[in-house]
Structure 1
Amino acid sequence: MTQLFEREDNYNATPHYTPLDKPRFSDTEIQITNDDTPDNVFIINNVVEANRPLNYLQNAIVDRNNKVIVYGATIHAYLCINALLEFRIRPENIIFVEPFPYENPNKTRVPVFDNVYVDKTVIQILESLKIKVYRSFYFKSWSVTVDNLITHADFLSYSDYLNLECDALFYFGKVGVNMSTFIAIHKSGLAYDAGIVIDHEFRTLDPHVYAAGPCTRYHKRYYADSKSHKYYESSELGEKLGIRIRKQLDPLFVEANSPFTYRWSQDYMVKPDAAAEKSVTSLNKTGVLHGSDFARPEMALMSLTKPTVMYCVLPGGLKYLEVRSPGKKIPHHYVQSLEYNGYVFETFKSGYFKLHLNKDMIVDGITCLSQGKFSLENFKHIYGRPASELNNLHLRYMTNQLDNFFEFFRASWAFFLYHDHADDLFAMIKQLFPKGQNKGLTVKEALCEVGMRLTDSTSTVKKMDQKMVIQANFAKSPHIEAVTDFVIDWLSQHDVLLPMYLQPGQTVLYDRVLDTAHPVVKRRRTLPQMLF
């Protein structure tokens, strides 16, 4: 028996085998801060910090064959490589270490570009430039000299080890908080939990101090880690924060509600039962948020709707544009596996252009990659537009009449979409009354009535029949004349920036040109056909 017990003890003392594809993960992940980094390790957060490595490279590395390491799995790492190439650093001297997938196996594995075609193109560009790339390696340590300069950096994967010589390291990995900043936050009486703790109104523990942006984090009572500010557009956050502060400074300030709202009929409202109303009322406590532990209805997080826009130049002169819905990035293949995920339209002429439309045929995702000399920034205005407003692109694409989105959206018809007041145009059209009337249903209210009629129909065949009847009746509606007159007047006011559209005073000249030119076949499409 004694031998059996000793044998069992020896077996338990032997470390168990850990498969390489399921490594043990520790929450104590290495974090680097700006406090104690060597002089040739650069963490770039702003323009001032970007100028320092450029001066260092100009004085120390340009004339020699020293190695430069770029570490990170973010879009900024690729932008850093492009900046080094433009700074005349030889591609053979650049080493790119990408720590993807993440060390934590439980973390969602979303690539930088989240697109197979973009990933393949960028990889081919890096290979053609002869830039050395190491993937799935993670930073562990570095060797520092007496002069506070690193000479080597160590990286470890699940099956290999690297000891790379370098004269400069650009670090875009996990960054810890600056110690002086951390001390200042705590001495100010503010809470810090992987970010400055705020509530639904951007208030910190000090009700007179507000904070917003990627340096913040919602209080844990909200269970809103997926709603962190780093997943949303900074300009919209600044606008919301400005409104909150103005309310405190100006008691008479009242936030204007959108005038284009539509109230649904009470028949379409879901009425809660008495028990549900009682539970909601019991949670509606009064008092300061910081002294209450109840999740009150007024504690709901504000809605942020502006899309996230990324426009940059990648290595090799590739122009890249990504416009996506606000919020945490979700893997593309997972989105497409969901029911009612929408449609994906892709073209490969003049570059790569992908549009994602939801089930209502509204653009909610744009990806562009091209080496053309034209700018891609204007294409961000396509986001949120229905396919009918985009010259019925869904019909053209599905009938194989559209194979180049770059050429399609750079045509003269689309220029009004890129105007600064295009949103105002669509907003004002929605509140137009029928021509010659000051009362009645606006355009938006009339379209909502149409939508409710279609909602009542359960059969697809009935919906199509009703849609045809409604479209025929809407063509004779006085709303059409009001919309036509308003659009013509709007184009006349902006004819300096939009000279490609025919003005009413130019019709005589246009007819004269048509008479002298070769005959062309003109296809006329009515406005109701574009709306439906």
Structure 2
Amino acid sequence: MSNKKLHGSLITTARRTEATDAKEILRYINNHTLELFGPNCKEIGTIHEIIEKSILSITLEDQNTNRVIAQACFNDYPNVYGVNPADWESWLNIRYDASKNTPLNTLFLHFFASQNEFSISCAQEIIKSAFKAVPECHYILLCIPINTVQEPSLASMFNEMKRNNNTDAAKDPKCIVYVTNRENHIPVLHIRDANVHDNDDLIPLFNSCTDLLKATYGDFYVAELIEAQNEQNKCLTAEAEGFGIGFMALTTDVNVELLNECFELRPFHGLCVPHPNDELTPVANSDNYEPVIKHKLSEAGIMDSDELDNEFNTEQSGSNQSEYSSNKEARIQKENYVPKYCGESNAFSIQLFCIEEKYDSRSLDFLPKAFDLFPDKDYCIITLPQNVPEFSLIQNFIRITPRNTNKINQELYLFHRAGLIKSLKVRSALKSGDYESIEKLVHNISSKDSILNDLQSYLKSRKDANGIDIDVYVAEIMNRIVGVAVIRQEDDIEYLRSNFNIENFIMFNHHKRDQHGHINHLALIPIFSFLTKYFIREILRKSSKTCLYYPIYPEYAPSDISERYSLITAMNYMVPVPRRKQIDYNFSKLGVNAPSDLVLKSRHNYSMPCALNMINRKLLLEPKLVVNLRIVVVGASVVGLSFLEKLIFSPHLRFNNLTLVSTTGAPGTLPPDSLRDQMNLKSMNYDSEDYAALSLRSWVNIITGKMTWIDRRRKHIVINGHTQLPYDHLILCTGEQYYHLAPLDLKVYNPYTKQDIKSSPSRPLFDEPPENMFVLNSEVEAENVLQFMEKYKIEQMKESVVVYGLDLNALCAIQTLIQYGISPSRFIVVCDKNSLNEMNNPYVIEKVMNALAELDIKVYENYQMLNWNGNKWTSGDLVRSISFKKSPTQNDSGSVYLDVQCCMILCYYKKDVDYITFTAVNKCHLVYDGRLVIDNDFHTNDSCIRAAGKMTKFKRSYYVDTWSHACFNQKEIGQDLAYRILKLVDPLLINDEPEPNYKSDSHRLANNDPSDNVLIQLYKKPNVYYAILPGGLYYLHVTKPGLTVTYKEEAQENDELVTNTENGYFRIHLNKHKCVQTITCLSKKKFNASNYIKLYGFHEQYLNRLLTKFNQRNIKDFYVYFNDNWTHALYHDRFDDLTQEIRDISINPNNGIKSVYDLLNEFVDKDLILTKDQREKIIEHFRNSGTRSLVEKRLLSYLNYNYSNLPMYAKPDMV
């Protein structure tokens, strides 16, 4: 909403109201405001609550100064005491002639305040903005208490409604109702057949939008198009105030066969009239398609059926959720099958459309006339290029899911004739016959039994088996039920508040506990799915709810949980809620001061990890910017996941074409398994709960396969050698992987270069690898190892388990297999070089090597794999024996060999970019120099292809060869990459320039190359490594991002704090600023790793004067020290926000006194080194200036607001 109007000398901008506007709004509240809207309006809390619970709030601000000059709040019920919001229609109809007023077309003004000198023009602009923001709204009502004078600015627009001659109504006059109509603010459009005289009005309109039409067809293309009208081609003109302001060209020449090949049109019978010879289902046992492709669940909500509904000439509802619960082969077959329709086309198409911007909200007015021109057609369709944003007309259409074989670079939108019906009503499912109608409506939904059981519970007692309130609502059109919703009381709101960031979207304290609801089911017939937001709006109004929540459980969720929900048609209108990282509480020490079970555990709805979506009143009419650009991400690395996460959790955006290509599908699809999950080193960026909360399958199309080719000219990639996937932006983030190695003596033929590969220790194996040789790069590969061991009873064998390579991942696998039941003495670790030096701590390395020795695990260093099965291995054979050859050194007099009888091999020799990925990248002529070359904006040498992560390196012209993305936190890199894409599509970020954080190599300073001005981006989050090592050693290492500094060099710099007790080894290294730079923990006891990670970056003063206490020998054991109750606030997920607020207070205390930072800058300007006297002056100024009291006040506010998670701290009223 960005309408700009001139009021005298003032230019204003209309936008949605924010909570921070409340303080400025208070300045404009006068006696008129209090009389009209209540005496409590002078309190900021009341203003916050009005804004929070309004479905539409509009603020006018001065465009030049961004100062708020007016604000108004609208709702869908009258603000009259004693009037039931769920049934205001009957109250209004008794007193006034309100037969045309419905909940769909009527809003109520609940609040208005403005700067006095501009009040009339501001009121007019806000009302006009409201009508534009809600196209279906035709009336805005204002209820004024009896004997109250209407505010002059509103009196100029609102007129009293016509009263009914009803004596009963006159006895109880609560208020007087005034009304203003849409046509008083936005001219009524007259839609008529176009004629050639419209050319003069329309040509300037088209030319203002594009020069392409004029350049292609000349100056009179509109007139020529109008003259060419016939039975198949029609043109319409929209006229306002005597001028043509809009144009629409229509045709019945629609290639439905092509559209069915490219889009999923089965719910709409392929846009064809039903015919007896239609082939709607695939032939049994037809060929399968690879790769496996899973469409996102937000598109699976469109319902499916084989049966035609005669009344609306569309299919009965049913959910594609059933496709996800059936077996995989049947699902793939059904998704790829294209039905054959023999009937005539049942659609016409919009070929050309244009309308003046100020009338854009009235675009839907064209459609009634359009359908009148083609009375035998039920569907109106339009196709748009992916880079064209949705406009007002399209927002009333249904987007059709594209097929994987889409041949056209367009989006398809559809509107059914029945969508013109405006008689949608929402009511409780209490009428006789409702059960049978709902049963028929949901007969194709996989969770229909759950819906009907909930309906029976509602009809019986209004409660479910757990005693939770339950409501069932139906949507009716022409007295036919076209939708149903099952809503429960949200009984776990404390748990939700603590585990999800719902406070990103609501001011929690302004919502009562019983105003939170829980969606179990919500379904609408597909042709009415564009009315979903109105359905939800009515549910909220009639149930007196302000927020609704909908969880999505992982695929592995047990049936007793998943069957309680159906895929709802409302997902695209809801916002995904980010998960909050919880404190790992020390319950034994906290005792009664621990958080309550309501905060820590779910009682009913959230018994296992899930994703959460929500909608509330103020989000209902908040438009989302739809992005149809095809963004293809190759690689499910941490970089790829964080990139997708950033896009998914952008609440004001909806990405329709996100695709992830991965060899093992989306991570987190397997049920959590403690044994499998510890088999790989953890970066602590994502765990099983994070994967469940992310719910990639809800928003991203998942393709299981491998990229084998990139066609840069046609902008598509090829998957598994044959499936084409088009893109607008290609994101490469495959990272590095362990790979199957070929032994030195094995002849290796490269099928890509058609040549034999010269013998070397790092050659990849191109043949089918042995069944008992494994590389572990993902949870799927770890699961394969466990299944193999179970299948062959490896723990009962006597042969050795060979681990080729020695690094942290190898140690994790060894410990996991020991826990599985394999004797430690059966492990033989062979490595060309010992990579444990990367742990960068001599004490830790010594402890780990000692643990291996104590377990009798043999380690052979400087050996290379020579052959398998005595050089008799052929593709498909198991490896029964391996020969190794020691790498020659100066002291060796001859060759040394090692022969091992084995039952299983784990290969950890080295990580590298996957060879097939390298081939695809290299053959399409992307610059590859040991790694894929990128610039500082993640671009390769193709502007449409970006790359990030460990597969990349920076251009040589940057002179930073030692720096790469491998130096930094991979999740932070993915988020930065997403930010670069968001800047292309998000108008809020287009002009945003964050504070840069750059680094240059010293070579750059001495070089005169023009590229010297280019600096690489640095990142701030630490690199984290967590593992369970042999001997049951729990290991955590947290270190600063960037180039590795050796332990010796680091220890010589600044402060090293170490405790080593029976609880374990704990080392903290502080940098020159006394901030925590490195944390290393090694213990045989499990510790709270997620807590300790959050200590990184804190100044030692935040840690309760850590350095002073350590130097005074008051800290004997860091494990005890950091598990004490006082530390919990440090581990809270919002503590960083508190430290930033404290910093802001120190910089600008807003009390008219010089800030601490100003005083510090004065001293630094005089001398770079602060003297002792200067330090004391700064501290004294902090105490006496009032800054300290502001900081203490903010700290207490933080503890009070987050008290549910931090009850171990005393509040002032307790002392």
Whether contact under 8 Å (1:212, 1:229) holds in the other structure is yes
Q: Could you tell me how far apart the structure 2 residues matched to 1:455 and 1:207 are?
A: 45
Q: Could you tell me how far apart the structure 2 residues matched to 1:240 and 1:246 are?
A: 10
Q: Structure 1 176/499 Cα, relative in aligned 2: closer, same or farther at 3 Å?
A: closer
Q: How do residues 3-402 of structure 1 correspond to structure 2 at under 5 angstroms?
A: 30-33=761-764, 35-36=766-767, 37-60=769-792, 61-100=794-833, 111-143=837-869, 145-146=873-874, 147-150=876-879, 151-157=881-887, 158=889, 159=892, 160-250=896-986, 253-254=989-990, 256=992, 294-297=1010-1013, 299-337=1014-1052, 341-349=1053-1061, 350-402=1063-1115
Larger radius of gyration: 2
The Cα shift of 1:82 comes to: 1.1
Q: Could you tell me how far apart the structure 2 residues matched to 1:320 and 1:223 are?
A: 35
Q: Could you tell me how far apart the structure 1 residues matched to 2:1133 and 2:1037 are?
A: 20
TM-score, with length taken from structure 2: 0.34
Whether contact under 8 Å (1:38, 1:148) holds in the other structure is yes
Q: Structure 1 324/502 Cα, relative in aligned 2: closer, same or farther at 3 Å?
A: same
Q: Structure 1 72/328 Cα, relative in aligned 2: closer, same or farther at 3 Å?
A: farther
Match of 1:431 among 1144, 1158, 1169: 1144
Q: Could you tell me how far apart the structure 2 residues matched to 1:453 and 1:136 are?
A: 59
Question: Aligned pair 1:472/2:1200, yes or no?
Answer: no
Q: Structure 1 470/227 Cα, relative in aligned 2: closer, same or farther at 3 Å?
A: same
Q: Could you tell me how far apart the structure 1 residues matched to 2:1144 and 2:1159 are?
A: 10
Question: Aligned pair 1:503/2:1211, yes or no?
Answer: yes
TM-score, with length taken from structure 1: 0.75
**In structure 2, what is the equivalent of residue 266 of structure 1?**
none
The Cα shift of 1:50 comes to: 1.9
Whether contact under 8 Å (1:434, 1:478) holds in the other structure is no
Q: Could you tell me how far apart the structure 2 residues matched to 1:222 and 1:259 are?
A: 20
Whether contact under 8 Å (1:98, 1:134) holds in the other structure is yes
Whether contact under 8 Å (2:844, 2:1082) holds in the other structure is yes
SS at match of 2:1042: coil
Q: Structure 1 216/499 Cα, relative in aligned 2: closer, same or farther at 3 Å?
A: same
Deviates more, 1:44-53 or 1:404-413: 44-53
Deviation per residue, 1:388-411 (Å, 9 max, x gap): 111111111111111111111111
Indicate the RMSD between aligned Cα atoms, in angstroms. Answer: 3.0
Deviates more, 1:34-43 or 1:241-250: 34-43
Whether contact under 8 Å (1:454, 1:466) holds in the other structure is no
Deviates more, 1:37-46 or 1:78-87: 37-46
Query: How many residues align structurally?
Result: 439
Q: Structure 1 258/205 Cα, relative in aligned 2: closer, same or farther at 3 Å?
A: closer
SS at match of 2:1011: coil
Question: Partner letter of residue 1186 of structure 2?
Answer: P
The Cα shift of 1:65 comes to: 1.0
Deviation per residue, 1:419-441 (Å, 9 max, x gap): 00011000011111699845555
- Structure 2 regions of 5+ residues with no counterpart? 1-757, 998-1004
The Cα shift of 1:448 comes to: 4.9
**In structure 1, what is the equivalent of residue 1128 of structure 2?**
415
Q: Structure 1 464/100 Cα, relative in aligned 2: closer, same or farther at 3 Å?
A: farther
The Cα shift of 1:446 comes to: 5.0
Q: Could you tell me how far apart the structure 1 residues matched to 2:759 and 2:1165 are?
A: 55
Q: Which has the higher contact order (CA 8 A, sep 6+)?
A: 1
The Cα shift of 1:370 comes to: 1.3
Q: Could you tell me how far apart the structure 2 residues matched to 1:257 and 1:176 are?
A: 35
The Cα shift of 1:473 comes to: 4.0
Q: Structure 1 448/418 Cα, relative in aligned 2: closer, same or farther at 3 Å?
A: farther
Question: Partner letter of residue 431 of structure 1?
Answer: D
Question: Partner letter of residue 342 of structure 1?
Answer: N
Whether contact under 8 Å (1:79, 1:314) holds in the other structure is yes
The Cα shift of 1:185 comes to: 1.6
Whether contact under 8 Å (2:1091, 2:1131) holds in the other structure is yes
Flag as ranges the 4+ runs of structure 1 deviating above 6 A: 258-261, 433-436
The Cα shift of 1:186 comes to: 2.8
Q: Could you tell me how far apart the structure 1 residues matched to 2:996 and 2:763 are?
A: 49
Deviation per residue, 1:282-316 (Å, 9 max, x gap): 96xxxxxxxxxx4151x211111211011221122
SS at match of 1:166: strand
Deviates more, 1:347-356 or 1:357-366: 357-366
Q: Structure 1 29/441 Cα, relative in aligned 2: closer, same or farther at 3 Å?
A: farther
Q: Could you tell me how far apart the structure 2 residues matched to 1:444 and 1:435 are?
A: 8
Q: Structure 1 443/236 Cα, relative in aligned 2: closer, same or farther at 3 Å?
A: farther
Question: Partner letter of residue 1100 of structure 2?
Answer: A
SS at match of 1:490: helix
More strand by share: 2
Q: Could you tell me how far apart the structure 2 residues matched to 1:59 and 1:95 are?
A: 22
SS at match of 2:953: strand
The Cα shift of 1:140 comes to: 4.2
Q: Structure 1 246/73 Cα, relative in aligned 2: closer, same or farther at 3 Å?
A: same
Q: Could you tell me how far apart the structure 1 residues matched to 2:1146 and 2:1074 are?
A: 26
Percent of aligned pairs sharing the same letter: 30
Q: Could you tell me how far apart the structure 2 residues matched to 1:155 and 1:124 are?
A: 25
Q: Could you tell me how far apart the structure 1 residues matched to 2:996 and 2:834 are?
A: 45
SS at match of 1:96: strand
